[in-house]
Structure 1
Amino acid sequence: MSDILGYKGKRVIVSGCFSGMGEATAKILLDLGAEVHGFDYKEVALPLASFNQIDLRDPASIEAGVAAVGGKVDCLFNCAGLPGGGGFPPIDTMKVNFLGTRHLTEQVIPLMGDKGAIISIASTGGLGWSRRIPVHMQLLATQGFQAGLEWCEANMDQVSEGYAFSKEAVIVWTQYMGAHLIKRGIRINCSLPSPTQTPMMATFHATSGKDVVDAAAEPLGRYTTPAEQAGPLVLINSDAAAVVNGIVLPVDGGFMGGLATGQVDISKMMGAARQNA
């Protein structure tokens, strides 16, 4: 039981390893003895087995990065993302947070063989997914990056500012694919972080407002750290979670539980939503 997580010698890919949760995830995996291959738009200084610069907005760069890694891949950590609220063009946010993430995953799956684990970072900002399942199923029915992009461009009323819809799409896609991939021995899950102190936080404050972000940090009363978010990602993709599949895991200090039981006041969040409507 000394290696209950089972990462020693495993080949893993971490997308978004330059900073924040992705960097923290890569550091933990390195400490656990994994062979870590990193993807990011920016160069990294970590002692990785390999690093490939990719742009999740560009399917060709994704394909080139995966081809460069090659061989058997045991785990994929989809940690790259863009904030919304107007900080970036909505289509760019959609490309990075969902379309590019889906395309990357589809490229890696054939390298996993008959066993593997995938986890993606969604968000508590995607909690509206259950109200738009039919819409998201239309998007999931598209085949490939370009078809997905064309659907988004034709449905900008749904995509809106990009962030919430992209994170909803990750949640629905995870649950949908869980039932399919497990038949091939591959697990897929996602996490829902509460506000986390990463380089993206300044954009969230500027576009959504600090009061709104702070409201999503209750009842914990503070922002989480990248390392606190990385730990659950590493756990869920590990051998210790061998039959955990298709889950949407809140990593939020009790936000969703407090919301469900009336202990979190979301009036500030709802007020902001009404103002932006």
Structure 2
Amino acid sequence: MTDILGYKGKRVVVTGCYSGMGHATAKMLGELGAEVHGLDFKECDLPLASFNQIDLRDPASIEAGVSAIGGKVDSLFNCAGLPTGFPAMDIMKVNFIGLRHLTEQVLPLMADGGAIANIASTGGLGWSRRIPTNMEFVTTQGWDAAVEWCEANMETVNEGYSFSKENVIVWTQFMGARLIKQGIRMNCTLPSPTETPMMKQFHEASGKDVVDAAAEPLGRYTTAEEQAGGLVLINSDLASVVNSVVFPVDGGFMGGLATGQVDISKMMRRGRKSE
């Protein structure tokens, strides 16, 4: 079993490959023998099979980027995202509306055995309390309808980040159950705080103590490479029936939260700040 993950010779697409988790994921996939095609707003320094600049706030840019890749795509890694601190509609477009639109462009290029991994966040854990609202939004048809929904419901969208990540989680579960009938899997990861260029914005928007609370019980921030490992695993051949899963890559945060070993009172400041 020399290629247990099954990436050798596979054509994969990675968004957000310029930096952070996306860069680490693209690098890892290349080292595993995949043919890596990158998409990002800024150019990537890795030796990719191709790179195309896209803006996830612009559907035409997304469509042009995917069209330039063409051919069969075996795996898609949706790693691009914006942190808190940006305009709410920009966050919604990049983190969910653009992610969904890009995925919809890639899906016709995928066949039985294809896999999609999305990056969500523990910031989206409120999804379970308002599934009807999330489902109403994620099932909007097309770019314009999603934007119009957000503009009509800005009190729900709020600062953008939490709601965008809630919808990545709900949409992943919804689409995973549908796409598996075509032999295509979709899962998402829940990273704990990770040392990437985005961390400065998270500290400024939420407070370092709030972010640090989400790094327990591990007691440190994870690395982009550790997060890439989770993404590469769930999209691999080894995980062939892992589907519609919300996969914590968090050093035990979710387990600690469920069993009362994480101080949730610090985390709740995030919600109060954004109200």
2:25 aligned partner: 25
The alignment-based identity, stated in percent, is 76
1:96 aligned partner: 94
The DSSP-based 3-state class of the residue aligned with 2:180 is helix
Instruction: Map 1:148-163; keep pairs closer than 5 Å.
Output: 148-163=146-161
1:210 aligned partner: 208
1:195 aligns to 2:193 (yes or no):
yes
1:258 aligns to 2:256 (yes or no):
yes
Write the distance in 2 (CA, Å) between the matches of 1:147 and 1:170: 17
Write the distance in 2 (CA, Å) between the matches of 1:274 and 1:64: 40
Q: Is the 8 A contact 2:158 2:274 kept in 1?
A: no
Question: CA-to-partner distance for each residue in 1:124-167, whole Å, 9 max, x for gaps?
Answer: 11100001100011112211111111111111111000000000
2:111 aligned partner: 113
1:75 aligns to 2:111 (yes or no):
no
Q: Is the 8 A contact 2:96 2:167 kept in 1?
A: yes
The DSSP-based 3-state class of the residue aligned with 1:38 is strand
1:276 deviates by 4.4
1:173 aligned partner: 171
Q: Which of 228, 240, 263 is 2:226 aligned to?
A: 228
Count of matched residue pairs: 275
RMSD of aligned alpha carbons: 0.9
Write the distance in 2 (CA, Å) between the matches of 1:140 and 1:211: 32
1:271 deviates by 3.7
1:266 deviates by 1.9
Q: Which runs of 5+ in 2 are unaligned?
A: none
Question: CA-to-partner distance for each residue in 1:58-104, whole Å, 9 max, x for gaps?
Answer: 000000000000000000000000011xx100000000000000000
Write the distance in 1 (CA, Å) between the matches of 2:266 and 2:191: 19
TM-score by length of 1: 0.98
The DSSP-based 3-state class of the residue aligned with 2:190 is strand
1:42 aligns to 2:42 (yes or no):
yes
After superposing on structure 2, the runs of 4+ consecutive aligned residues of structure 1 that deviate more than 6 Å are none
Q: Is the 8 A contact 2:206 2:273 kept in 1?
A: no
Change over 3 Å in CA distance of 1:182–1:272 after alignment to 2 = closer
Change over 3 Å in CA distance of 1:183–1:91 after alignment to 2 = same
2:61 aligned partner: 61
1:130 aligned partner: 128
TM-score by length of 2: 0.98
